[in-house]
Amino acid sequence: MKKALGVLVPALIFFIWQFLSWAALGVHEGNLKHTPQQMEILASLEGKLDDGTYFLPKVAPGSSREQEEAFMKEHDGEAWAVISYHKSFDSSMGMNMLRGFATDLVIGFLLFWLLSQMLGMSVTKGATVAVVIGILGYLSIRYMNSIWFETNTIPDLIDAIVPWALSGVWLGWWLPKGK
C-alpha cells in the first residue's frame, strides 16, 4: 500500500497540474496562436502533406553538401515555418488522457523509487531533487529545442518546476513517515 500511494499521489499531482496548466490557468495559451486565416491556410495544405512535422524551407533529401550550402544561402533571411500537419482533427480526449495518466504513473513510480533510495529524506531534499530532475528534463529537451526553433519555453519551465516541486515536497514529507 505504501508503494502504491507513493506512486499514485505524484501521478495525480502531475495529472492535475497538466489540466491546470493547459486548460484552467492558460499557462500555454500564448504558445498556440490563432490566425483568422486558419481555414485558408489549412485548405492550401490539404492534399499536399502527409501527417507529420515539417520544417520549411528545407533542402531535399539526398542533396549534396554544395547544394545544401547554396540552398541555405539562397533562403537566408527569408520566412520559415514548422508545421505539424494532421489530415483529421480528433477532438476526443479519452485516449490522450489515458496515455497522459499512464505516463504520470511512470513518472510517479520513478520519482518515488529514486527518492526512496536516499538517506535522510526531508521535504527540502525531496523538493530539491525533484525540481533538479524537472529542470534537467526542461533544459535537455524543451529549452534546447527552443534555441533552434525560437520558441517561448517559459510555460514549459513552469511545468518543469511546479509539479516536480509539489511531488518532491509530498514525497519528502511522506517517505520518512513510513520508515
Q: Looking at the predicted structure, is the pLDDT value of residue 178 above 90?
A: no
What pLDDT band is residue 111 in, cutting at 50, 70 and 90? Answer: very high
Q: Which of 133, 106, 135, 124 is nearest to 172 (CA)?
A: 124
DSSP string, 8-71: HHHHHHHHHHHHIIIIIS-TTGGGS---TTHHHHHHHHTTT--SEEEEES-PPTT--HHHHHHH
Residues 131 and 164 sit within 8 Å (Cβ to Cβ): yes
What pLDDT band is residue 154 in, cutting at 50, 70 and 90? Answer: very high
Tally of CA atoms within 13 A in the half-sphere of 67 that contains its CB: 7
pLDDT tens string 34-48: 899 999 999 999 999
pLDDT at 150: 86
pLDDT tens string 100-109: 999 999 999 9
pLDDT at 148: 87
pLDDT tens string 55-99: 889 999 999 999 999 999 999 999 998 889 898 888 888 888 999
pLDDT at 30: 82
pLDDT at 3: 86
- Provide mean pLDDT across the span 122-129: 96
How far is it, in rounded angstroms, from Cα 69 to Cα 67? 5
Q: Which three cell numbers stand for residue 125?
A: 531534499
Whole-prediction pTM: 0.82
Average pLDDT over the chain reads 91
In the chain, % helix, strand, coil (3-state, to 5) comes to 65, 5, 25
